[in-house]
Chain A
């Protein structure tokens, strides 16, 4: 077994343990009641504001369009203490940061989405886990319970 294989085995084992052992579907609300899992969105925009509030943080972005206009989107994120536990803090996402948000659009068709991942200009990708908190572990946060 080479180092790569060993590393994969360790990562795989950790993932399995996290998934089987302490995973919790533990959310403030049910994702599918409000958001459409069949309508994934990927939004490249500039952060205009972030509200660190319970039960969900919200990230506000301006998404530039091809015609030069800007469309405003509101991204639901995790509870502040869920975000803190995965390494987010108030300096993580300053106003003006260009980010890419992957998430799912609200069922009501408005420019509101449930965020899953945020990718920063340097390539870092962080789980923004909105509906669930510790629950939807996707490997972005190795310390997630």
Chain B
């Protein structure tokens, strides 16, 4: 009888101890599996130098089939039907899908997967999207060989790569597209005054473990926040004001992979901050180099596109 009562008293601490040790071990081994330890540069920065290309493509926003249908009809009226010039993939139906059809959507917050526009801004954005050839300024800056802006310059592209360089106190991103670049100080220095407006914005960074956090301000109002790369698409026309503030998070997943997240706010056009997230970079094959991009040389888009008016 005594033994029966005593047994739990003796066994319980042993069982609890074993469970604790085991769970501690599994936690440790789990951490080893989950958190990649990158090589550190002499100044302590995780080394993310190298050339990267896009690993995957996502639709940008979560549209309904009805909305896609409606937009497709409008575009046919604007510039004629797209008969699938490259085969079945290059058809109205697929253009309506946005910039690709990977799993999920780039807009992860709000949960409905849609940019939270203020009503007046949604009306303006939709007008630009549905009348893209009305005037030059309605055409995507990328198509006009102008800078893509931030965060849009970092969107997936199957024809451009990026090169990351690091010096003590800086991270430098070279964009194959249009020879763009960003020199990102990580020394805690502040942004310039708000009257300074730059196509790619002013970037100030810091490392939080494996994540490069970049605060971007001082942007113009001449670029789109998001939008399909061809300039047509359901998220096209996503303008912003110079008050745009973007906080990017480049997170090292493993030796070859970088995830991207950007929180976007602009109190002049959006009702709340919102967020995009996607796997942004995968290390390029060793033979890959950034190709010269004298954009106007091979770009005849503006000559070949009949515009409705000559309004700039």
Most chain A CB atoms below 10 A, which of B161, B176, B231, B301: B301
A21 near B102 (CB under 8 angstroms)?
yes
* A11, chain B: closest CB distance, angstroms: 15
Contact, CB under 8 Å: A25 / B84? no
Q: Mark B287-312, 1 if CB is under 8 A from A, else 0.
A: 01001111101111101111000000
User: Could you tell me if A37 and B83 are in contact, using CB atoms closer than 8 angstroms?
Assistant: yes
Interface residues on A, range: 35 or more
The winner among A76, A107, A144, A145 for most chain B CB atoms within 10 A is A145
Q: Is the CB of A134 within 8 A of B89?
A: no
In the complex, are the beta carbons of B291 and A28 less than 8 A apart? Answer: no
- The interface of chain A, by Cβ under 8 A from chain B, is 19-38, 51-58, 76, 78-82, 85, 104, 106-108, 112, 114, 116, 129, 131-139, 144-145
Candidates A25, A32, A114; contact of B97 at CB < 8 Å: A25
Closest to A117 in B: B86
Within the complex, which residue of B100, B133, B291, B299 is in contact with A33, where a contact is CB–CB below 8 Å?
B133
Nearest CB in chain B: distance from A13 CB, A: 16
Return 25 A-B CB contacts under 8 Å, by A number.
Answer: A22-B57, A26-B228, A26-B229, A28-B230, A29-B305, A31-B82, A32-B81, A33-B132, A34-B300, A36-B80, A54-B297, A55-B295, A56-B298, A79-B291, A80-B291, A82-B159, A131-B86, A133-B158, A133-B159, A134-B158, A134-B159, A135-B86, A136-B86, A137-B89, A139-B87
Picked from B57, B87, B143, B291, the residue with its CB within 8 Å of the CB of A24 is B57
Which of these, A26, A106, A114, contacts B99 with CB under 8 Å?
A26
Q: How far is the CA of A108 from the CA of B145 in the complex (A)?
A: 21
Also in contact, A136 and B156, with CB within 8 A (given A25-B94, A25-B98, A55-B145): no
Are B301's CB and A28's CB within 8 A? yes
**A23-B100, A25-B99, A76-B300 given; A136·B89 CB < 8 A:** yes
**Partner among B82, B89, B157, B159 whose Cβ is within 8 Å of the Cβ of A32:** B82
Beta-carbon contact of A132 and B86 below 8 Å: yes
| Chain A residues, CB < 8 A from B142 | 28
* Contact status A53-B143, CB under 8 Å: no
Q: Which of A29, A78, A144 has the most CB of B within 10 A?
A: A29
Nearest CB of B to A75, in Å = 12
> Are B87 and A138 interface neighbours, CB within 8 A?
yes
How far is it, in angstroms, between the C-alpha of A139 and the C-alpha of B94 when the chains are bound?
Answer: 17
Residue B215 at the chain A interface, CB threshold 8 Å: no
Determine the chain A residues whose CB is within 8 A of the CB of B100 once the complex forms: 22-26, 135
B58 vs chain A, min Cβ distance (A) = 9
A81 to B142, CA, bound (A): 17
- Measured in the bound complex, the distance between the Cα atoms of B301 and A112 in whole Å is 12
Query: Are A112 and B293 closer than 8 Å at their CB atoms?
Result: no
Tell whether B280 is near chain A: CB-to-CB under 8 Å: no
Bound together, the chains give a CA A142 to CA B266 distance in angstroms of: 42
